[in-house]
Amino acid sequence: MFNPLQRLVNFSSSKRGAKLVFLLWIAAVIVLSVFAPSSKDYSVSSKEGSVKNDTPSAIANQVIKEQFPSKEGLTGLLVFHRDDKLTDNDREKITEVSQWLSSEEKPKYVESALPFHQFPKPVQDQMFSKDGTTLLLNFTLKEGSDSHDANATIKVMNDKLKQLKLGTLQAEITGPAGISSDTISIFQNADFVLMLATIVLIFVLLLVIYRSPLLAVIPLVIAAIVYQVVDRVLGLGGKNDWFVLDSSAISIMLVLLFAVLTDYSLFIFSRYREELKNFSSKYSAMGEAIHHVSEPILFSGGTVLLSVLTLFTTVFMPYNHFAPVFSVAVVFILIAGLTLIPSIFALMGRKAFWPFIPKADEKPKEKAGFWTKVSKQVMKHPAVIAGILLITLLAGALNTTSIQYSFNIMKSFPEDLSSRQGFELLEKHYPAGQLAPVTVILTSDEQIALDEKFLTNVKSLEDHLKNIDGVDSISQGLTEEMIKAPEKLPRGFIGEDKKTFKMQLVLKDNPYDTGALKTVQKLRDQEGNILSKSGFSSNSYHLQYAGQTAEQLDIRAMNQRDMVILFSLVTVLITIMLALQTRSILMPLLMMATILLSYVATLGFGWIIFHNIMGYDSISYRLPVYTFVFMVALGVDYNIMLVSRIKEEAQKFSWKEAVGSGVALTGGVISSAGIILAATFAVLITQPLQELFLFGMIMALGVLMDTFLVRGMLLPSILILVKKKGKSQSAAHTFNG
């Protein structure tokens, strides 16, 4: 035990210290509530980009911004649809909307809109989908408009559409502006629902498990105090631009905070109840209890903190922006576990356990509970149990090879959301590639001589691009008239520095599909060959690609890079922490191996549920990363609690008996904590995003598997098989690898 840690926990559990610690936490809540904002006031939806902004698509976007400047920001797509063909009356309504978007009365943040009302009827007809059922109107917001501006604009537009009384004419708003607006809207009430569901669920489970009203309330009060502090500290960070507050991260943080603090409360008051039977003083009992539990909590919180800190090494924005939110939360969770929880239980004393109040010198009742029976079977048949569980988990792990991942963010939105409905209407009634054409930028080291020779080469370039498998056509391409009369070339083709030339190509596949990503990768790989065949020198000319598909391709590359770094760092750091805690080499390797196997098996079994039972064709590419960080970090908690108790019991018994005793003594509290943790993560199914819904389900499955199968049976069986020691072995010898 570290001396500073010992002094801290001794102070927190003392008569004077417990009161002072509690008052300091309450004072922090009051001060921060008065002077600091809530994290929700500054939460945003992280963009799917690199924190370094150095990906090929980001560089291409920057070239477009500099060489083809405009006052336009986010693009919105207003989609009109009727199951039968659009009528003349529909055309009149659409014309009214177009006139309004071009008038002085248009929404505050709208910069421009497609002037449908100014086009003659034949031109308007060409804008309709081939089946005549759907029409798309583009509009753009002003440069610098954010998600909240988009949300305000979409609300005004929806009110206008209601005033026009469109009847059965369907109108949906999608595109980047619509998606940003809907993201803000769906999270407005989601956190309140999440918090309420989490509190109610934890209360009910604690009440059912421990049948004590105070034991059900106290952990929730502790979590509420800590959450208030964390929320306001994060709010200060967001207000002062210390870090970005991701809205999804804040939602998951709420669940993590309540779940982990409840777990720590269970670990502490379970040991406290034991010690109250040995001490008449409630403070002495807590001092002894926290002496045994504080080191496991320190290492447990430390491993979780290390895991979330590794997110700072990622370059993908959504992953990187999770880091500050969870790092701040885990620091305060750990501090609360060593100060606030023992102080409150010390102050409450025996009353906390009413009506089952433990008495001093009370002899423990001999009860052969579930985990006592499990421990006997583990000691009796370790090889059989380990063999069966390893085969089962390996079968689940092998199923991960069949998982299909989606890079389409729209698939994570609720089906009834306007931005998703609008996108799917466009997908159904317009050519797939037209949803988001790829912008091609030809750059030269020197100023371009805009003559017939150059434009002839550009035309050849267009032809070669069209011949690439996966490319459908060139949008806004050159005509023979433009080539022969370069002075008639419209603005928008040539950049301001006269070194860039822009064109657009349409892909055959949906911009988010794997086929489209492969096509853009092919275009990048064949850059030199395409240029040389078109008459351009690859030494002085270069091709860059911008747009949704190019961005998704870069996201896939960033995701793969971050997964390798994250998984490696987390595994190594946690193994080192376990080695420090167990003072062993073999022990942490075994623990880490079972944790990793549990994680991979959970993904495999989860895919069986999502694909074969629930009918999902694919899951979000982010799920493996989020699941790994939290499942591995939290799985270590139960490892540490179990092995710490085995270590303690090994001072008195043989190794096999110590393992059995450790399982029997910690099984109840670990399984209770696991059930609560799993149920708390399952609360995420109340969230509107499919990504959070599936994350909650897979975390619940993983925690339950880890709690009952891996931690309760597999690891103890393996520990017995690899370390058969005699009764005389001390704990120090037993744990030396």
**Tens digit of each residue's pLDDT (9 = 90 or more) over 590-608:** 989 999 999 999 999 999 9
**H-type alpha helices, 514-585:** 514-525, 527-533, 548-582
Q: What's the whole-number mean pLDDT along residues 409-430?
A: 84
Picking from 315, 174, 173, 194, the residue whose alpha carbon sits closest to that of residue 247 is 194
pLDDT band at 365 (very low <50, low <70, confident <90, very high): low
Same domain, residue pair 378 and 360:
no
Same domain, residue pair 114 and 177:
yes
Whether residue 364 is predicted with pLDDT greater than 80 in this model: the reply is no
Q: What's the whole-number mean pLDDT along residues 445-453?
A: 88
Whether residue 338 is predicted with pLDDT greater than 50 in this model: the reply is yes
Q: Is position 642 within any domain?
A: yes
**H-type alpha helices, 277-348:** 282-309, 317-320, 322-338, 340-348
Contact call for residues 410 and 423 (beta carbons, < 8 A): yes
Picking from 427, 434, 522, the residue whose alpha carbon sits closest to that of residue 475 is 434
CATH number at residue 644: 1.20.1640.10
Please confirm whether the linkage preceding 414 is cis (ω < 30° from 0).
no
- 492 or 732: whose pLDDT is higher? 492
Number of residues in the chain: 737
Q: Please state the pTM of the whole predicted model.
A: 0.82
Same domain, residue pair 727 and 714:
yes
Whether residue 184 is predicted with pLDDT greater than 80 in this model: the reply is no
Which of 155, 186, 217 is the last residue in one of the domains?
186
Which residue type, as a one-letter code, is found at position 89?
A: N
Same domain, residue pair 356 and 237:
yes
Alpha carbons 442 and 449: distance in angstroms, whole number: 13
Contact call for residues 69 and 123 (beta carbons, < 8 A): no
**pLDDT tens digits along 499-538:** 999 988 989 888 888 889 999 999 999 999 999 999 998 8
Q: What is the pLDDT of residue 724?
A: 56
Which residue type, as a one-letter code, is found at position 252?
A: I
Tell me the two tokens of residue 565.
């770094």
Q: Is position 709 within any domain?
A: yes
Phi, psi at 368, each rounded to 5°: -85, 80
Tell me the two tokens of residue 355.
């009506």
Q: Is position 56 within any domain?
A: no
Tell me the two tokens of residue 633.
């970090």
Same domain, residue pair 345 and 452:
no
Alpha carbons 213 and 358: distance in angstroms, whole number: 15
Written as one string, the DSSP assignment of 546-565 is: ESHHHHHHHHHHHHHHHHHH
Return the H-helix or E-strand segment holding 253: helix 247-276
pLDDT band at 732 (very low <50, low <70, confident <90, very high): very low
Residue 500: which residues within 8 A CB-CB, separation 6 or more?
63, 67, 68, 441, 442, 443, 444, 448, 494
Q: What's the whole-number mean pLDDT along residues 447-455?
A: 88
Return the H-helix or E-strand segment holding 161: helix 147-163
Q: Is position 551 within any domain?
A: no
Whether residue 96 is predicted with pLDDT greater than 90 in this model: the reply is yes
- 410 or 315: whose pLDDT is higher? 315
Q: What is the pLDDT of residue 513?
A: 84
Same domain, residue pair 444 and 506:
yes
Q: Is position 572 within any domain?
A: no
Contact call for residues 258 and 202 (beta carbons, < 8 A): yes
Q: What is the pLDDT of residue 730?
A: 43
b/e code 306-318 from CB counts within 10 Å (16+ = b): bbbbbbeebbbbb
Q: What is the pLDDT of residue 175?
A: 84
Same domain, residue pair 336 and 386:
no
Instruction: Tell me the CA end-to-end span of the chain in Å, nearest whole number.
Output: 20
The burial class, CB within 10 Å (0-12 / 13-18 / 19+), for 128 is middle
Which residue type, as a one-letter code, is found at position 376?
A: K
Number of domains in the chain: 4
Angle at 583 between CA 581 and CA 586, to 5 degrees: 105
Residue percentage of the chain with pLDDT more than 70: 96
Contact call for residues 676 and 202 (beta carbons, < 8 A): yes
Q: What is the pLDDT of residue 71?
A: 79
Which residue type, as a one-letter code, is found at position 211?
A: R
Tell me the two tokens of residue 647.
């270590």
Contact call for residues 632 and 664 (beta carbons, < 8 A): no
Same domain, residue pair 326 and 237:
yes
Written as one string, the DSSP assignment of 375-393 is: HHHHHH-HHHHHHHHHHHH
The burial class, CB within 10 Å (0-12 / 13-18 / 19+), for 104 is exposed
Q: Is position 60 within any domain?
A: no
Same domain, residue pair 337 and 370:
no
Number of neighbouring beta carbons within 10 Å of residue 527 = 15
Q: What is the pLDDT of residue 363?
A: 63
Q: Which domain holds residue 457?
A: 437-546
Q: What is the pLDDT of residue 725?
A: 44
Which residue type, as a one-letter code, is found at position 255?
A: V
Phi, psi at 89, each rounded to 5°: -65, -40
Q: What is the pLDDT of residue 727?
A: 42
Number of neighbouring beta carbons within 10 Å of residue 441 = 21
Whether residue 185 is predicted with pLDDT greater than 90 in this model: the reply is no
Tell me the two tokens of residue 461.
């370039």
Mean of per-residue pLDDT scores for the chain = 88
| Helix, strand, or coil (residue 168) | coil
Which of 521, 546, 571 is the last residue in one of the domains?
546
Compute the 3-state secondary structure of the chain and give helix, strand, coil in percent, each to the nearest 5.
Answer: 70, 10, 25
Same domain, residue pair 688 and 673:
yes
Tell me the two tokens of residue 93.
């309504």
CATH number at residue 499: 3.30.70
Same domain, residue pair 356 and 453:
no
Alpha carbons 478 and 458: distance in angstroms, whole number: 8
Q: What is the pLDDT of residue 553?
A: 94
Which of 136, 171, 186 is the last residue in one of the domains?
186
Whether residue 570 is predicted with pLDDT greater than 80 in this model: the reply is yes
Q: Is position 636 within any domain?
A: yes
pLDDT band at 357 (very low <50, low <70, confident <90, very high): confident
Whether residue 736 is predicted with pLDDT greater than 50 in this model: the reply is no
Q: Is position 465 within any domain?
A: yes
Whether residue 247 is predicted with pLDDT greater than 90 in this model: the reply is no
Phi, psi at 24, each rounded to 5°: -65, -40
Same domain, residue pair 229 and 259:
yes
